[in-house]
A and B are shown apart, each in its own frame.
Chain A
Amino acid sequence: MTAASDYVVIDRVAKTYNPGSRQQVDAVTATSFSVKAGEFVTLLGPSGCGKSTLLMMVAGLDTPSTGTINVAGQPMAAPRAETGIMFQDPTLLPWKSALENVLFPFRAMNRPVAPFEGRAAQLLDQVGLAGFHDHKPRQLSGGMRQRVAICRALVYEPDLLLMDEPFSALDAITRDEMNLVLMKMWHDHRRTALFVTHSIREAVFLSDRVLVMSPRPGRVVEDVAIPFDRPRTLEIGETAEFNRICAHLRNRISH
């Protein structure tokens, strides 16, 4: 099933916390799937099904108990500098401006910052934050903070974008807005993307493929291709096709 174009390959990965103890937790059991280069794939599942654990393992922030993860043909052992990541909370430095926060990856990697200031500013403009470059995180709304986080994940031009429920703390209206922003940015920059959410509509709207995970111990139980053309608008959410796919996914999650 592994093809040359597969960018991320998860092969029979399982994760068990506190093995052998009374607090043993089987977070993920023997799961295999792969993501093609340039593809937007979403892991969809109920809370606590191990989807975030899987994402953290792909990021190299956690290691599988068994099985292997390959990214760009290399086995994952530690975090790699070519991965962009977004967490549930924006994780901005409260004492730095929006622009400085976007530039933070270069500082963290101990690379010169000056050559990338233009690109960072341009990204902020693209997500609709022109005029907010010098604002501190506390002066920005929740949605604006996540826009900064999107820019930060893209600024060093990673080849893989990992997103762990990045919009789940936002209200429904802002969430729709953020989905559009993310869609546009992904379209413009076209990276392989692995997205985690428990929102069915969000998953269908954003993805090329949705992988449904079972409740804990989690594993992928279904692989659903999403047929809509890109660029997509919020209106596709009202089509019968969209709602049919959502209903199908909802069914799969509850079984």
Chain B
Amino acid sequence: MFVVTFFLLGLALLIIQTTLFSAMPDWLGRPDLLFIFIIFITVRLDIIKGALLVLMLGLIMDIFSGIFLGLYPVINLILFFIVHLLSRRFIISELPHQIPLVLGCYLFSNTMIFISTAMLAPENILPWNGKAIFFQMLLLSILTLPFFALYDFLLSLRNSPEFFRLFVRQQRGNKFRE
């Protein structure tokens, strides 16, 4: 159930990023909240659920971004595999390492897009937009901790049935019979 919820949350972030954030002025920046969410999934969920979610979100990102189908699922999966492998050996998912982790992954992901598109269409090499990447990394470094905390809170809800009781009306028995 929570996999579906997380998938819908990812979808909502994508919609917000493509509509509301795109209308924001350039100087304010357009934070890539979906990327923070993908890194969160990578370090917090188990391999099957995490890979499935990351793959599904990548497939949908493909429709709304770029012109090469399959670019995002592959990059997301490679990133997922590397980070998951590292997180088994090192404590990279804990609070002090979250910002460097997200920034490193963002740089890696952009480098992968640059290399992949250069290989797929060598006649149309995309210009390396260092300034925009740096600005985005700055935004990510500010937003990583609060959003990791928010996603952690949402993840913790799956283990607390009290939360779901708020939404589901409890079936009470006949108290007079007791």
Indicate, yes or no, whether A interacts with B: no
